[in-house]
Protein backbone atom coordinates (compact mmCIF):
# COMPACT_ATOMS: atom_id res chain seq x y z
CA UNK A 1 0.00 0.00 0.00
CA UNK A 2 2.79 2.30 1.01
CA UNK A 3 4.53 1.92 -2.31
CA UNK A 4 1.26 2.41 -4.23
CA UNK A 5 0.66 5.60 -2.31
CA UNK A 6 4.18 6.74 -2.99
CA UNK A 7 3.72 6.01 -6.67
CA UNK A 8 0.50 8.01 -6.75
CA UNK A 9 2.16 10.85 -4.89
CA UNK A 10 5.12 10.86 -7.24
CA UNK A 11 2.89 10.69 -10.30
CA UNK A 12 0.72 13.53 -9.03
CA UNK A 13 3.82 15.62 -8.44
CA UNK A 14 4.97 14.78 -11.93
CA UNK A 15 1.59 15.76 -13.41
CA UNK A 16 1.69 19.04 -11.53
CA UNK A 17 5.20 19.78 -12.73
CA UNK A 18 4.38 18.89 -16.32
CA UNK A 19 1.25 21.02 -16.22
CA UNK A 20 3.31 23.97 -14.99
CA UNK A 21 5.92 23.42 -17.70
CA UNK A 22 3.23 23.08 -20.34
CA UNK A 23 1.52 26.28 -19.24
CA UNK A 24 4.88 28.01 -19.46
CA UNK A 25 5.56 26.61 -22.91
CA UNK A 26 2.24 27.41 -24.53
CA UNK A 27 1.63 30.83 -23.03
CA UNK A 28 1.46 33.46 -25.75
CA UNK A 29 4.81 35.18 -26.27
CA UNK A 30 3.55 38.21 -24.43
CA UNK A 31 7.06 39.33 -23.65
CA UNK A 32 8.23 41.17 -20.63
CA UNK A 33 5.87 43.76 -19.18
CA UNK A 34 8.77 46.17 -19.32
CA UNK A 35 11.59 46.18 -21.89
CA UNK A 36 14.73 44.41 -20.58
CA UNK A 37 16.60 47.51 -21.76
CA UNK A 38 14.54 49.94 -19.63
CA UNK A 39 16.47 52.11 -17.16
CA UNK A 40 16.79 50.22 -13.88
CA UNK A 41 15.74 53.24 -11.83
CA UNK A 42 12.46 53.85 -13.63
CA UNK A 43 11.23 57.27 -14.67
CA UNK A 44 13.80 59.88 -13.63
CA UNK A 45 13.10 62.67 -11.17
CA UNK A 46 12.67 65.57 -13.57
CA UNK A 47 13.11 69.13 -12.34
CA UNK A 48 10.04 71.33 -12.44
CA UNK A 49 10.21 74.05 -15.07
CA UNK A 50 8.96 77.44 -13.91
CA UNK A 51 5.82 78.34 -15.84
CA UNK A 52 4.98 74.77 -16.91
CA UNK A 53 2.21 72.55 -15.49
CA UNK A 54 0.85 69.14 -16.50
CA UNK A 55 -2.04 66.81 -15.90
CA UNK A 56 -3.38 63.55 -17.27
CA UNK A 57 -6.78 61.86 -17.25
CA UNK A 58 -8.78 58.92 -18.59
CA UNK A 59 -11.04 59.90 -21.45
CA UNK A 60 -11.69 56.37 -22.75
CA UNK A 61 -10.43 57.19 -26.26
CA UNK A 62 -9.83 53.52 -26.92
CA UNK A 63 -9.66 51.69 -23.60
CA UNK A 64 -11.43 52.45 -20.36
CA UNK A 65 -9.54 53.02 -17.12
CA UNK A 66 -6.20 54.09 -18.47
CA UNK A 67 -4.94 57.66 -18.58
CA UNK A 68 -4.96 58.53 -22.26
CA UNK A 69 -5.04 62.33 -22.40
CA UNK A 70 -2.41 64.76 -21.20
CA UNK A 71 -2.64 68.51 -20.97
CA UNK A 72 0.40 70.76 -20.62
CA UNK A 73 0.31 74.49 -20.02
CA UNK A 74 3.19 76.96 -20.41
CA UNK A 75 3.05 80.56 -19.26
CA UNK A 76 2.30 83.50 -21.55
CA UNK A 77 5.42 84.88 -23.19
CA UNK A 78 6.87 81.40 -23.92
CA UNK A 79 8.58 80.71 -27.24
CA UNK A 80 7.80 77.49 -29.07
CA UNK A 81 9.78 75.48 -31.66
CA UNK A 82 8.90 72.18 -33.31
CA UNK A 83 9.93 69.54 -35.80
CA UNK A 84 7.53 67.12 -37.46
CA UNK A 85 7.32 64.02 -39.61
CA UNK A 86 7.92 64.58 -43.30
CA UNK A 87 5.47 61.81 -44.22
CA UNK A 88 3.22 62.81 -47.13
CA UNK A 89 0.30 61.19 -45.30
CA UNK A 90 0.79 63.03 -42.04
CA UNK A 91 -2.01 63.24 -39.56
CA UNK A 92 -4.40 66.16 -39.02
CA UNK A 93 -2.85 67.31 -35.71
CA UNK A 94 0.58 67.51 -37.37
CA UNK A 95 -0.78 69.69 -40.16
CA UNK A 96 -2.48 71.91 -37.57
CA UNK A 97 0.70 72.25 -35.45
CA UNK A 98 2.78 73.15 -38.49
CA UNK A 99 0.32 75.84 -39.56
CA UNK A 100 0.18 77.36 -36.06
CA UNK A 101 3.96 77.28 -35.53
CA UNK A 102 4.54 79.03 -38.85
CA UNK A 103 2.57 82.01 -37.46
CA UNK A 104 4.21 82.02 -34.00
CA UNK A 105 7.64 83.58 -34.48
CA UNK A 106 7.70 85.66 -31.29
CA UNK A 107 6.74 85.12 -27.64
CA UNK A 108 3.22 83.76 -27.20
CA UNK A 109 0.71 86.50 -26.32
CA UNK A 110 -1.14 84.14 -23.98
CA UNK A 111 -0.71 80.75 -22.33
CA UNK A 112 0.55 77.93 -24.53
CA UNK A 113 -1.37 74.65 -24.39
CA UNK A 114 -0.46 71.15 -25.53
CA UNK A 115 -3.10 68.42 -25.56
CA UNK A 116 -2.23 64.87 -26.55
CA UNK A 117 -4.26 61.68 -26.65
CA UNK A 118 -3.20 58.08 -27.10
CA UNK A 119 -5.39 55.25 -28.47
CA UNK A 120 -6.23 56.93 -31.78
CA UNK A 121 -3.87 58.69 -34.23
CA UNK A 122 -6.54 60.82 -35.97
CA UNK A 123 -4.57 60.03 -39.14
CA UNK A 124 -6.12 59.33 -42.55
CA UNK A 125 -9.45 60.49 -41.19
CA UNK A 126 -10.23 62.91 -44.04
CA UNK A 127 -11.86 66.25 -43.33
CA UNK A 128 -13.29 64.92 -40.08
CA UNK A 129 -9.74 64.74 -38.75
CA UNK A 130 -9.16 68.48 -38.99
CA UNK A 131 -12.58 69.12 -37.46
CA UNK A 132 -11.61 67.00 -34.46
CA UNK A 133 -8.36 68.92 -34.06
CA UNK A 134 -10.21 72.24 -34.21
CA UNK A 135 -12.74 71.06 -31.63
CA UNK A 136 -10.12 69.72 -29.19
CA UNK A 137 -7.78 72.71 -29.42
CA UNK A 138 -10.71 75.15 -29.09
CA UNK A 139 -11.91 73.35 -25.96
CA UNK A 140 -8.41 73.32 -24.47
CA UNK A 141 -7.98 77.02 -25.26
CA UNK A 142 -11.29 77.66 -23.55
CA UNK A 143 -10.39 75.91 -20.28
CA UNK A 144 -6.88 77.45 -20.27
CA UNK A 145 -8.17 80.94 -21.08
CA UNK A 146 -6.04 81.35 -24.18
CA UNK A 147 -6.32 81.44 -27.96
CA UNK A 148 -6.77 78.23 -30.00
CA UNK A 149 -3.84 79.50 -32.09
CA UNK A 150 -1.63 78.81 -29.06
CA UNK A 151 -2.87 75.27 -28.43
CA UNK A 152 -0.99 72.40 -30.10
CA UNK A 153 -2.34 68.88 -30.25
CA UNK A 154 -1.19 65.39 -31.14
CA UNK A 155 -2.85 62.01 -31.36
CA UNK A 156 -1.18 58.61 -31.38
CA UNK A 157 -2.61 55.14 -31.83
CA UNK A 158 -4.75 53.48 -34.49
CA UNK A 159 -4.72 55.02 -37.98
CA UNK A 160 -7.94 55.55 -39.95
CA UNK A 161 -10.60 55.66 -37.27
CA UNK A 162 -12.50 58.80 -36.34
CA UNK A 163 -11.27 60.42 -33.13
CA UNK A 164 -14.02 60.41 -30.47
CA UNK A 165 -13.09 64.00 -29.64
CA UNK A 166 -16.18 64.62 -27.48
CA UNK A 167 -14.79 62.28 -24.84
CA UNK A 168 -11.59 64.34 -24.70
CA UNK A 169 -13.44 67.66 -24.60
CA UNK A 170 -15.61 66.47 -21.70
CA UNK A 171 -12.54 65.51 -19.67
CA UNK A 172 -10.72 68.78 -20.40
CA UNK A 173 -13.32 70.67 -18.34
CA UNK A 174 -12.22 68.93 -15.14
CA UNK A 175 -8.60 68.24 -16.04
CA UNK A 176 -7.67 71.88 -15.90
CA UNK A 177 -8.20 71.82 -12.11
CA UNK A 178 -5.47 69.18 -11.78
CA UNK A 179 -2.68 71.08 -13.51
CA UNK A 180 0.51 70.87 -11.45
CA UNK A 181 4.21 71.53 -11.98
CA UNK A 182 5.17 68.04 -10.78
CA UNK A 183 2.85 65.79 -12.77
CA UNK A 184 5.23 65.31 -15.69
CA UNK A 185 5.44 61.56 -15.04
CA UNK A 186 1.66 61.25 -15.41
CA UNK A 187 1.83 63.19 -18.65
CA UNK A 188 4.64 60.94 -19.94
CA UNK A 189 2.56 57.86 -19.14
CA UNK A 190 -0.67 59.14 -20.70
CA UNK A 191 0.85 59.38 -24.19
CA UNK A 192 2.22 55.80 -24.27
CA UNK A 193 0.89 53.21 -26.77
CA UNK A 194 3.01 50.05 -27.22
CA UNK A 195 5.65 51.67 -24.98
CA UNK A 196 6.60 49.53 -22.00
CA UNK A 197 7.96 52.40 -19.89
CA UNK A 198 7.65 56.21 -19.79
CA UNK A 199 10.71 58.10 -21.01
CA UNK A 200 12.09 61.27 -19.46
CA UNK A 201 15.38 63.19 -19.44
CA UNK A 202 16.70 66.47 -18.11
CA UNK A 203 19.78 68.66 -18.06
CA UNK A 204 20.86 71.99 -16.70
CA UNK A 205 23.29 74.64 -17.85
CA UNK A 206 24.37 78.09 -16.79
CA UNK A 207 23.71 81.13 -18.91
CA UNK A 208 24.85 84.56 -17.76
CA UNK A 209 25.22 83.28 -14.18
CA UNK A 210 21.69 81.86 -14.13
CA UNK A 211 20.87 78.16 -13.90
CA UNK A 212 18.72 77.04 -16.83
CA UNK A 213 16.75 73.77 -16.71
CA UNK A 214 15.57 71.55 -19.54
CA UNK A 215 13.22 68.61 -19.02
CA UNK A 216 11.33 66.52 -21.52
CA UNK A 217 9.57 63.27 -22.20
CA UNK A 218 8.92 61.06 -25.19
CA UNK A 219 6.83 58.15 -26.38
CA UNK A 220 7.79 55.72 -29.11
CA UNK A 221 8.37 52.03 -29.55
CA UNK A 222 7.40 50.92 -33.06
CA UNK A 223 6.92 52.68 -36.41
CA UNK A 224 10.19 54.38 -35.57
CA UNK A 225 12.49 55.57 -38.32
CA UNK A 226 14.50 58.66 -39.06
CA UNK A 227 13.70 61.51 -41.44
CA UNK A 228 11.57 63.30 -38.91
CA UNK A 229 11.35 64.09 -35.25
CA UNK A 230 10.60 60.58 -34.21
CA UNK A 231 7.33 59.98 -32.39
CA UNK A 232 5.95 62.35 -29.79
CA UNK A 233 8.44 64.35 -27.78
CA UNK A 234 7.77 67.30 -25.47
CA UNK A 235 10.62 69.30 -24.01
CA UNK A 236 10.31 72.29 -21.69
CA UNK A 237 12.88 74.78 -20.51
CA UNK A 238 12.86 77.91 -18.43
CA UNK A 239 15.49 79.50 -20.68
CA UNK A 240 14.86 82.91 -22.18
CA UNK A 241 15.57 82.41 -25.86
CA UNK A 242 14.32 83.96 -29.08
CA UNK A 243 11.98 81.76 -31.10
CA UNK A 244 14.07 81.69 -34.34
CA UNK A 245 17.15 80.68 -32.32
CA UNK A 246 15.17 78.03 -30.44
CA UNK A 247 13.90 76.63 -33.74
CA UNK A 248 17.33 76.62 -35.40
CA UNK A 249 19.05 74.91 -32.48
CA UNK A 250 16.24 72.33 -32.31
CA UNK A 251 16.33 71.61 -36.04
CA UNK A 252 20.12 71.25 -36.02
CA UNK A 253 20.07 68.81 -33.12
CA UNK A 254 17.33 66.62 -34.61
CA UNK A 255 19.74 65.14 -37.18
CA UNK A 256 22.19 63.45 -34.79
CA UNK A 257 19.49 62.49 -32.24
CA UNK A 258 15.93 61.55 -33.25
CA UNK A 259 16.78 61.30 -36.95
CA UNK A 260 19.60 58.88 -36.11
CA UNK A 261 17.45 56.18 -34.52
CA UNK A 262 15.46 53.41 -36.12
CA UNK A 263 13.44 50.53 -34.75
CA UNK A 264 11.88 49.22 -37.95
CA UNK A 265 12.46 51.75 -40.72
CA UNK A 266 8.77 52.67 -40.66
CA UNK A 267 7.92 56.35 -40.38
CA UNK A 268 4.90 57.38 -38.37
CA UNK A 269 2.22 59.69 -39.71
CA UNK A 270 2.12 61.53 -36.40
CA UNK A 271 5.68 62.22 -35.26
CA UNK A 272 6.08 65.56 -33.56
CA UNK A 273 8.53 67.25 -31.21
CA UNK A 274 7.61 70.46 -29.44
CA UNK A 275 10.08 72.51 -27.45
CA UNK A 276 8.68 75.26 -25.20
CA UNK A 277 10.83 77.90 -23.47
CA UNK A 278 9.12 79.88 -20.71
CA UNK A 279 11.93 82.38 -20.16
CA UNK A 280 11.46 82.19 -16.37
CA UNK A 281 15.12 81.32 -15.57
CA UNK A 282 16.00 85.01 -15.66
CA UNK A 283 19.00 84.46 -17.92
CA UNK A 284 20.02 87.18 -20.36
CA UNK A 285 17.94 86.22 -23.40
CA UNK A 286 19.72 84.08 -25.99
CA UNK A 287 19.34 86.03 -29.20
CA UNK A 288 21.71 84.18 -31.55
CA UNK A 289 22.75 80.60 -32.29
CA UNK A 290 26.36 81.54 -31.53
CA UNK A 291 25.35 82.53 -28.00
CA UNK A 292 23.36 79.33 -27.50
CA UNK A 293 26.39 77.07 -26.82
CA UNK A 294 25.72 75.82 -23.26
CA UNK A 295 21.96 75.64 -23.89
CA UNK A 296 22.57 73.74 -27.10
CA UNK A 297 24.82 71.21 -25.33
CA UNK A 298 22.28 70.67 -22.56
CA UNK A 299 19.44 70.31 -25.06
CA UNK A 300 21.53 67.87 -27.11
CA UNK A 301 22.00 65.72 -24.00
CA UNK A 302 18.23 65.65 -23.31
CA UNK A 303 17.33 64.89 -26.94
CA UNK A 304 19.94 62.13 -27.28
CA UNK A 305 18.88 60.55 -24.01
CA UNK A 306 15.20 60.55 -25.04
CA UNK A 307 16.10 59.17 -28.49
CA UNK A 308 18.09 56.35 -26.87
CA UNK A 309 15.19 55.60 -24.51
CA UNK A 310 12.91 55.16 -27.52
CA UNK A 311 15.34 52.53 -28.88
CA UNK A 312 15.55 50.90 -25.44
CA UNK A 313 11.79 50.51 -25.69
CA UNK A 314 11.87 49.37 -29.33
CA UNK A 315 9.14 46.82 -29.91
CA UNK A 316 10.52 43.44 -28.83
CA UNK A 317 14.04 44.82 -28.32
CA UNK A 318 16.57 42.83 -26.30
CA UNK A 319 19.70 44.62 -27.61
CA UNK A 320 20.59 48.32 -27.79
CA UNK A 321 22.92 48.71 -30.76
CA UNK A 322 25.15 51.62 -31.70
CA UNK A 323 26.35 51.62 -35.31
CA UNK A 324 29.30 53.98 -35.83
CA UNK A 325 30.40 54.51 -39.41
CA UNK A 326 33.65 56.31 -40.24
CA UNK A 327 35.86 56.76 -43.30
CA UNK A 328 32.92 57.36 -45.66
CA UNK A 329 32.95 59.74 -48.61
CA UNK A 330 30.78 62.18 -46.62
CA UNK A 331 28.79 62.39 -43.38
CA UNK A 332 25.62 61.83 -45.41
CA UNK A 333 27.12 58.69 -46.98
CA UNK A 334 28.11 57.45 -43.51
CA UNK A 335 24.54 58.03 -42.29
CA UNK A 336 23.13 56.06 -45.25
CA UNK A 337 25.52 53.14 -44.61
CA UNK A 338 24.67 53.26 -40.89
CA UNK A 339 20.94 53.04 -41.63
CA UNK A 340 21.46 50.26 -44.20
CA UNK A 341 23.05 48.24 -41.38
CA UNK A 342 20.58 49.36 -38.70
CA UNK A 343 17.51 48.61 -40.84
CA UNK A 344 18.67 45.28 -42.28
CA UNK A 345 16.36 42.49 -41.07
CA UNK A 346 19.22 40.01 -41.46
CA UNK A 347 21.60 42.10 -39.33
CA UNK A 348 18.89 42.68 -36.71
CA UNK A 349 17.90 39.01 -36.47
CA UNK A 350 21.57 38.05 -36.15
CA UNK A 351 21.82 40.35 -33.10
CA UNK A 352 18.63 38.80 -31.72
CA UNK A 353 20.30 35.39 -32.03
CA UNK A 354 23.53 36.72 -30.44
CA UNK A 355 25.24 35.61 -33.64
CA UNK A 356 28.41 37.63 -34.42
CA UNK A 357 27.47 37.45 -38.10
CA UNK A 358 29.74 40.11 -39.55
CA UNK A 359 29.09 38.80 -43.07
CA UNK A 360 25.65 40.39 -42.88
CA UNK A 361 27.27 43.74 -41.97
CA UNK A 362 29.33 43.42 -45.15
CA UNK A 363 26.14 42.64 -47.08
CA UNK A 364 24.39 45.72 -45.66
CA UNK A 365 27.35 47.99 -46.50
CA UNK A 366 27.24 46.61 -50.02
CA UNK A 367 23.55 47.26 -50.55
CA UNK A 368 23.62 50.80 -49.16
CA UNK A 369 24.38 52.30 -52.55
CA UNK A 370 27.23 54.38 -51.08
CA UNK A 371 30.81 53.99 -52.26
CA UNK A 372 32.71 51.26 -50.44
CA UNK A 373 35.71 49.15 -51.28
CA UNK A 374 35.71 45.61 -50.00
CA UNK A 375 39.44 45.61 -49.39
CA UNK A 376 39.40 48.86 -47.35
CA UNK A 377 36.64 47.82 -44.97
CA UNK A 378 37.35 47.42 -41.23
CA UNK A 379 34.76 46.09 -38.80
CA UNK A 380 34.88 46.09 -34.99
CA UNK A 381 32.45 44.59 -32.46
CA UNK A 382 33.13 46.78 -29.41
CA UNK A 383 36.95 46.76 -29.19
CA UNK A 384 37.28 43.47 -31.05
CA UNK A 385 38.79 43.74 -34.52
CA UNK A 386 36.67 41.43 -36.64
CA UNK A 387 37.54 42.08 -40.26
CA UNK A 388 40.00 44.18 -42.19
CA UNK A 389 41.42 44.37 -45.71
CA UNK A 390 38.59 42.42 -47.26
CA UNK A 391 38.73 39.44 -44.94
CA UNK A 392 38.36 38.24 -41.39
CA UNK A 393 41.17 39.39 -39.08
CA UNK A 394 43.74 36.67 -38.29
CA UNK A 395 43.34 37.47 -34.56
CA UNK A 396 39.57 37.11 -34.61
CA UNK A 397 37.97 34.00 -33.21
CA UNK A 398 34.28 33.19 -33.34
CA UNK A 399 34.17 32.81 -29.50
CA UNK A 400 35.35 36.41 -29.06
CA UNK A 401 32.45 37.68 -31.13
CA UNK A 402 29.96 35.23 -29.61
CA UNK A 403 30.90 36.31 -26.08
CA UNK A 404 30.62 39.98 -26.96
CA UNK A 405 27.15 39.44 -28.45
CA UNK A 406 25.84 38.36 -25.03
CA UNK A 407 25.94 42.00 -23.87
CA UNK A 408 22.68 43.95 -23.92
CA UNK A 409 24.44 47.10 -25.16
CA UNK A 410 26.44 46.54 -28.33
CA UNK A 411 28.58 48.67 -30.59
CA UNK A 412 29.42 47.96 -34.22
CA UNK A 413 32.08 50.15 -35.81
CA UNK A 414 32.56 50.14 -39.55
CA UNK A 415 35.38 52.08 -41.16
CA UNK A 416 34.94 52.28 -44.92
CA UNK A 417 38.46 53.59 -45.45
CA UNK A 418 37.53 55.76 -48.42
CA UNK A 419 37.09 59.24 -46.91
CA UNK A 420 36.52 61.37 -43.81
CA UNK A 421 32.71 61.19 -43.40
CA UNK A 422 31.24 59.80 -40.20
CA UNK A 423 27.86 59.24 -38.56
CA UNK A 424 26.40 57.24 -35.72
CA UNK A 425 22.95 55.69 -35.61
CA UNK A 426 21.19 53.58 -32.99
CA UNK A 427 18.87 50.65 -33.35
CA UNK A 428 17.64 47.51 -31.62
CA UNK A 429 17.40 43.85 -32.61
CA UNK A 430 14.49 42.22 -34.48
CA UNK A 431 12.91 39.51 -32.36
CA UNK A 432 9.92 37.18 -32.24
CA UNK A 433 8.35 39.68 -29.88
CA UNK A 434 8.28 42.35 -32.63
CA UNK A 435 6.29 39.92 -34.79
CA UNK A 436 3.98 39.03 -31.91
CA UNK A 437 3.29 42.69 -31.14
CA UNK A 438 2.69 43.72 -34.74
CA UNK A 439 0.83 40.73 -36.11
CA UNK A 440 -1.83 41.52 -33.51
CA UNK A 441 -1.72 45.19 -32.48
CA UNK A 442 -3.82 47.43 -34.73
CA UNK A 443 -1.86 50.63 -35.35
Q: Which of residues 390-429 bind a copy of itself (CB under 8 A)?
A: 390-392
Using CB under 8 A as the binding rule, whether residue 319 contacts a copy of itself is answered as no
Q: 158 or 281, CB closer to a copy of itself? A: 158
What is the smallest separation between the CB atom of 346 and a copy of itself, expressed in angstroms? 5
| DSSP secondary structure of 385-423 | EEEETTEE-TT--HHHHHHHTTSSEEEEEEE-SSSSEEE
- Selected from 84, 295, 358, 426, the binder of a copy of itself by CB under 8 A is 358
- Selected from 276, 352, 410, 425, the binder of a copy of itself by CB under 8 A is 352
Q: 332 or 346, CB closer to a copy of itself? A: 346
Using CB under 8 A as the binding rule, whether residue 18 contacts a copy of itself is answered as yes
> Cβ contacts of residue 27 below 8 Å, gap of 6+?
none
Active site residues: 230
Pairwise CA distance, residues 329 & 417, whole Å: 9
Cβ 322 vs Cβ 312: under 8 Å: no
Sign of CA dihedral 215, 137, 66, 262: negative
Using CB under 8 A as the binding rule, whether residue 22 contacts a copy of itself is answered as yes
Pairwise CA distance, residues 327 & 415, whole Å: 5
Site for a copy of itself in 134-193 (CB under 8 A): 158-161
Using CB under 8 A as the binding rule, whether residue 11 contacts a copy of itself is answered as yes
Q: Backbone dihedral region of 77: left (phi > 0), alpha (psi from -120 to 50 degrees) or beta?
A: left
- Selected from 73, 264, 322, 415, the binder of a copy of itself by CB under 8 A is 264
- Selected from 164, 170, 355, 411, the binder of a copy of itself by CB under 8 A is 355
Q: 18 or 138, CB closer to a copy of itself? A: 18
- Selected from 115, 365, 412, 428, the binder of a copy of itself by CB under 8 A is 365
Cβ 392 vs Cβ 386: under 8 Å: yes
Binding range to a copy of itself, per CB under 8 A, among 50-58, 171-179, 353-361, 405-413: 353-361
| DSSP secondary structure of 259-312 | GGEESSSPPPSS-EEEEEE--TT-PPPB-SSGGGHHHHHHHHHHHHHHHHHHHH
* Residue 306 three-state SS: helix
> Cβ contacts of residue 106 below 8 Å, gap of 6+?
79, 243
> Closest Cα to residue 113, out of 86, 87, 78?
78
Q: 97 or 365, CB closer to a copy of itself? A: 365
Q: 58 or 357, CB closer to a copy of itself? A: 357
- Selected from 42, 63, 105, 128, the binder of a copy of itself by CB under 8 A is 128
What is the smallest separation between the CB atom of 327 and a copy of itself, expressed in angstroms? 14
- Selected from 38, 70, 116, 123, the binder of a copy of itself by CB under 8 A is 123
Using CB under 8 A as the binding rule, whether residue 268 contacts a copy of itself is answered as yes
Pairwise CA distance, residues 94 & 200, whole Å: 22
Using CB under 8 A as the binding rule, whether residue 120 contacts a copy of itself is answered as no
Cβ 337 vs Cβ 370: under 8 Å: yes
Amino acid sequence: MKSEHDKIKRLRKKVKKLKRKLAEAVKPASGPAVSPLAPKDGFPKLPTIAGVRFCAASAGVKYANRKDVMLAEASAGSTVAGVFTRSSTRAAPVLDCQAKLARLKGPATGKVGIVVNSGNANAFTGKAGLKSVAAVTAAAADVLGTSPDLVFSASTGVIGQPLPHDRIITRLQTMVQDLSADKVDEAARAIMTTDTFPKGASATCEIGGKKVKIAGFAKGSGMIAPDMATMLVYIFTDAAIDQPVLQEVLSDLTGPTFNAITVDGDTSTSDALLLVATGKAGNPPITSVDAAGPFRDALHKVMLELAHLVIRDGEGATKFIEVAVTGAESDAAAHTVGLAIANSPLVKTAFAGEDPNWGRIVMAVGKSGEFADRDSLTIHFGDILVAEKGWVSPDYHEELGANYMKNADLKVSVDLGVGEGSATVWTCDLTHQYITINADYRS
